[in-house]
Structure 1
Amino acid sequence: MRLVQCVVIALLSLTPPCDLQLPTLMDQPQIMDSLRLANILMERPVEGPSIRKECRMLNTTDFQRIVNAINRAKLDTRVRPNVHDAYSFLHAHPEVNRGAHGGPAFLPYHRVFIFLYEKLLRIYDRGISLCYWDTTVEPENMQWSSAWTPELFGNVQGSVTTGFARNWVTPIHTLERFGATQGRPMNDEDVKTILSKNRLGEISMPAASVDANVELMHNFVHTYVGGIMGQVETAAYDPIFWFHHTYIDCIYEQFRDKQKQNGVQPMRDWPAEHGDSAHAPFAPMRIGSLRNIDGAQEFFSKEIVRCEPLPACTEDSQCGAYMRCNRDKRKCIADTMKPPEQAAGGWSSVDNILSSVWRNRLSSINNPLTGSSFGFGSIFHQPEIFRFSNSG
């Protein structure tokens, strides 16, 4: 009998603190817990700059360190239901995220949001920095992309059963994606147009033109991944959210660099036409005691954000293990899962027809004159799919 007890105790000591497989056992996030966690992260020291590379340019060890930290946060139940989902819940709560979308506070808000998330990950590994997912290198056919392989982000159709987030359970249900049913990746022209502007109001809702609206372009990527990533209430529960927003923050930093070159001080560049009062420069961010304008501080440019661009390549070896070099464009691209016969140029008339149909379908879905033109539209701004609790 004593031997059996010893075995049971030993087994319990090896059991993870949170079972990712059983949604019925997961507590729902509580907003006061999440806010307390954010305040703790605010007080934590800054562990040096964030050296951001494209995720596919990292070696296996460096990428694994990042995802190990994410999984450790997912398993850490010191905050309910776990540290990862408690922090992600801030993006879901309708009071906390009022200034996060639909106006010029979008970029400064998310800059702070991912900065604190990186602080959270550094609780588990002080030496890591978030990597970014550059969707301008994605192929026309989503299934050709190395992004959705088990070595990287896992499958993009249905419940996620491969990759580092396999079998994750979120506070809603199992992690799932429904890729390429709506939306699209960003492209070089999107980024070029955004960076051709000189004022925050020219790239932000409500006044930005459709082709220069960085939030709109970012929204298309959310719906391109779909599933949990495609709804504002749940998007941050999918870890691809953080890699996507790290890329958007790198675009923001490029934009700020160009502003300064042109004599514009980013922190003094808040548009008078900012729409909802939640997007006013001194409106509360609802994270700690921060105001929206605090996300535009030069502190981030001087001390934190270091984005390493992809190389202007001439050889495949310059593009890491998961991309190849398009020598005509001198650009790394991620179509390494393309079937060999198509990679060699053996396109059939059927392939061309299907490709044309797919392009036309995405063009129709993303028509800026439709009701869903501003990105997630009816999907990203649909009513809450679960009730929030203000109890602590």
Structure 2
Amino acid sequence: MIIQRAFFEKFSNKYQLDRTNKIRIRNKKSVEPATAGRNTYQTMAVFHTGETLRYAHGGPAFAPWHRIYLLLLETACRAPIPYWDSGLDHDMTDPTMSILWSNQFFGNGDGEVMNGPFRDMRTILGTPVIRNYGTGDSALFTKEGLRAVLSQRNYADIAEPLFGDAFMNSLEGHHNGPHVWVGGHISALNSAPWDPVFYMHHAYVDAVWERFREQQVTNGINPETDYPRTPPPPEGHAANDRIDFRPYINPITNIFAMRNLIANLVRYEPFPTCENTCNSSPHLSCDRARRICVSRERPVAQGNIVSASSSSSSVAMGASRGSAFRVESRSQARAEARGPLPVGQKFRSSPVQDPRNGADTIGTGPAAAQIRQASVQVRASATSQSQSSTQTRVRRDVFQNTTAHGSHQSVSSLERSFTNTFVLDGVVDLKRWVYVPVRIVYTRSPNVQGVDPTLLGNAELANDVCQTAHSGASKVFVASNGLNYYGNYKEFAIIDERQPVSITTTAVGIKNPEFGEGEVLFTSYDSCGRPCRPLCLTSVNGQQKYKACSGAFKISSAAPTMYRNSYKEAIAANLLEELNMVDSGSDASSPPVTFVCGNSNTWPWSY
């Protein structure tokens, strides 16, 4: 199914009522247990709080993360989210007079939302949605900002973190503007999705990103693989870091969310221009002098407009913030009486300021404890539901009878999965990869309780238990990371924890030296996250022996080669060497690197 996201101001009142009702319905239903006290819409909003914000903002994961987030809400509402092009309001004489801030569309923008389709919505703190439009130091999404973003070629040019003059090209930077300008709940990171305007604004941001991707294709750039890798992105923003909305969808990587198969789920109506008669919207007009479309003003009762020089007056809601009007509304007064909103950090200012804005008379304060609690609860619920959906056989072992570990439950490393991207220097080409056999020697812990003795010196970690499948099988992970090329590869080997020593072999991909010599670092760790010690095959007095090493190699095509052209060949060559261990006099098939995994307190790279 393809989702058609239309321009919000185009359609009739019936269409808008249908779309907003879909959101209101989520406000009356719940996907969590009744004890949680949250409706479906609030649950969706909680995903944009707490620790997750570090992975959703401030780096290249911003656009793909929010793309998946929009699809999640559309799935819950079973309806497309229309996009709000706030630049059409910015180009008005007074953006706060836009028809969008009327009973017909978003409802009032001054203080508590008391009219419009979202007047009955409540936040997880039990308050109405609060706005404070036309305040702060940032402009809406301007045409100047749109041109700056679309003038760039690579995703790294528009993705955070950007500083100085480069910040003008930041997609996330210009996205910040409407958050700050609308004010109230939407101006803070933790509470922004409490206001449904959030999703319509982000639908436009996603539309801008999609137009940027279309330009990349025209310029010969593959938007699926054009993900920033240097300098290293912030935590959570690397290509293979995960976007996690469990239990509603399975986790996916940031780079996966860049794929066309995700982008092709959505189609956007063109941006309104005078050339396309402003998308035939009755709520827009073409400013022929500037050749741009602008929003029409909402109708205002005569008694609701008071000159700045007149005595103060009061209206129920919908007061303008333009320079010619100074009207105090009861909705604004009620919001200000609540004091600063307890929602935490506000969005960073946008690259473009609007001198017409007023001061933020509501403000924000430290985040309420309920916000953090809700964030933890939703993610804990997701983890427990994910675990309960997977049935595993559990053996009775010694630590199940101990007080410290009797109730410990964890997800086995065998149940975790990952996918290699086969991206090398920005190109996906299997011919650019060759495979190196790697031997794993796993030694069982001498501690009969199965507790890692290296953790006992730390009081906080003394009760930690390694995650296992309770079957004896476990994984040891091996990775290759290019030192002079951009590419990484990860593989695992299955070992038997029940044996005193378990030896097995796997293979990892590295750069094919036919495409230039490569330098690579091999690393390994077990399913508890403990690093394994590398041993490299070297010649000592004419004999091949393994010695402790750093795990760094220079790969060339000179004989004897340490790699094979396929994973199968790499594994088969080592298997043959093991089967003929007694009779074989050649070391050509011995793995060039062996990792020893155990509970030694030795620093792995001390050699």
TM interval, short-chain normalised: 0.7 to 0.9
Equivalent position amino acid for 2:192 in 1: A
Deviation at 1:109, TM superposition (A): 0.6
CA distance in 2: counterparts of 1:90 and 1:50, whole angstroms: 22
> Within the alignment, does 1:280 sit opposite 2:234 as a pair?
no
- 1:34 is matched with none
Q: Residue 97 of structure 1: which of 20, 33, 53 is its match? A: 53
Matches within 5 A, 1:51-200: 51-79=4-32, 80=36, 81-94=38-51, 96-122=52-78, 128-138=79-89, 139-172=92-125, 173-182=127-136, 183-200=138-155
User: Could you tell me the percent identity over the aligned residues?
Assistant: 26
CA distance in 1: counterparts of 2:57 and 2:366, whole angstroms: 15
Q: Residue 295 of structure 1: which of 247, 250, 257 is its match? A: 257
Deviation at 1:110, TM superposition (A): 0.5
Alpha carbons of 1:162 and 1:199: their partners in 2 closer, same or farther (altered >3 Å)? same
> Within the alignment, does 1:323 sit opposite 2:276 as a pair?
no
Alpha carbons of 1:215 and 1:274: their partners in 2 closer, same or farther (altered >3 Å)? farther
Q: Residue 274 of structure 2: which of 290, 313, 320 is its match? A: 313
Given that residues 204 and 213 in structure 1 are in contact (C-alpha distance below 8 angstroms), is that contact kept between their aligned partners in structure 2? yes
Given that residues 139 and 177 in structure 2 are in contact (C-alpha distance below 8 angstroms), is that contact kept between their aligned partners in structure 1? yes
CA distance in 1: counterparts of 2:47 and 2:363, whole angstroms: 16
Equivalent position amino acid for 1:293 in 2: I
Deviation at 1:319, TM superposition (A): 4.2
Equivalent position amino acid for 2:268 in 1: C
CA distance in 2: counterparts of 1:63 and 1:295, whole angstroms: 29
Q: Which runs of 5 or more structure 2 residues have no equivalent in the other structure?
A: 302-321, 325-345, 352-361, 382-607
Given that residues 135 and 185 in structure 1 are in contact (C-alpha distance below 8 angstroms), is that contact kept between their aligned partners in structure 2? yes
Equivalent position amino acid for 2:255 in 1: I
TM-score relative to the length of structure 2: 0.48
Equivalent position amino acid for 1:135 in 2: S
CA distance in 2: counterparts of 1:241 and 1:380, whole angstroms: 18
Name the structure where strand makes up a greater proportion of residues.
2
SS of the equivalent of 1:324 reads strand
Deviation at 1:332, TM superposition (A): 2.1
Given that residues 318 and 325 in structure 1 are in contact (C-alpha distance below 8 angstroms), is that contact kept between their aligned partners in structure 2? no
CA distance in 2: counterparts of 1:102 and 1:236, whole angstroms: 17
Deviation at 1:240, TM superposition (A): 0.1
CA distance in 1: counterparts of 2:189 and 2:238, whole angstroms: 21
Q: Which runs of 5 or more structure 1 residues have no equivalent in the other structure?
A: 1-47, 123-127, 341-352, 356-371
Higher Cα radius of gyration: 2
Deviation at 1:383, TM superposition (A): 5.1
Given that residues 207 and 273 in structure 1 are in contact (C-alpha distance below 8 angstroms), is that contact kept between their aligned partners in structure 2? no
Given that residues 190 and 212 in structure 1 are in contact (C-alpha distance below 8 angstroms), is that contact kept between their aligned partners in structure 2? yes
CA distance in 1: counterparts of 2:135 and 2:348, whole angstroms: 17
TM superposition outliers: structure 1 runs of 4+ over 6 Å = 314-317, 379-382
TM-score relative to the length of structure 1: 0.73
CA distance in 2: counterparts of 1:228 and 1:198, whole angstroms: 34
Deviation at 1:337, TM superposition (A): 3.4
CA distance in 2: counterparts of 1:87 and 1:381, whole angstroms: 22
Equivalent position amino acid for 2:67 in 1: R
Deviations 1:329-376, CA, capped at 9 Å, x for gaps: 333211423889xxxxxxxxxxxx948xxxxxxxxxxxxxxxx99438
Alpha carbons of 1:98 and 1:317: their partners in 2 closer, same or farther (altered >3 Å)? closer
Given that residues 313 and 319 in structure 1 are in contact (C-alpha distance below 8 angstroms), is that contact kept between their aligned partners in structure 2? no
CA distance in 2: counterparts of 1:339 and 1:316, whole angstroms: 26
Equivalent position amino acid for 2:118 in 1: A
Deviation at 1:152, TM superposition (A): 0.2
- 2:214 is matched with 257
Deviations 1:128-167, CA, capped at 9 Å, x for gaps: 3210000110124232211101000000011000110013
Deviation at 1:321, TM superposition (A): 2.6
SS of the equivalent of 1:91 reads coil
Name the structure where helix makes up a greater proportion of residues.
1
Deviation at 1:196, TM superposition (A): 0.7
Given that residues 56 and 320 in structure 1 are in contact (C-alpha distance below 8 angstroms), is that contact kept between their aligned partners in structure 2? yes
Given that residues 230 and 380 in structure 1 are in contact (C-alpha distance below 8 angstroms), is that contact kept between their aligned partners in structure 2? no
> Within the alignment, does 1:220 sit opposite 2:177 as a pair?
yes
Given that residues 180 and 347 in structure 2 are in contact (C-alpha distance below 8 angstroms), is that contact kept between their aligned partners in structure 1? no
Higher relative contact order (CA 8 A, sep 6+): 1
- 2:538 is matched with none
Deviations 1:78-123, CA, capped at 9 Å, x for gaps: 43410111011101132x333100001100110111011111111x
Deviations 1:286-310, CA, capped at 9 Å, x for gaps: 2332111122111123x31211123
> Within the alignment, does 1:204 sit opposite 2:159 as a pair?
yes
CA distance in 1: counterparts of 2:168 and 2:274, whole angstroms: 27
CA distance in 1: counterparts of 2:215 and 2:283, whole angstroms: 31
Alpha carbons of 1:165 and 1:69: their partners in 2 closer, same or farther (altered >3 Å)? same
Deviations 1:246-266, CA, capped at 9 Å, x for gaps: 000000100000011111111
Tell me the number of residue pairs that the alignment of Structure 1 and Structure 2 aligns: 315
Could you say what the CA RMSD is over the residues aligned between the two structures, in angstroms? Answer: 3.2
Alpha carbons of 1:195 and 1:274: their partners in 2 closer, same or farther (altered >3 Å)? farther
Equivalent position amino acid for 2:100 in 1: A
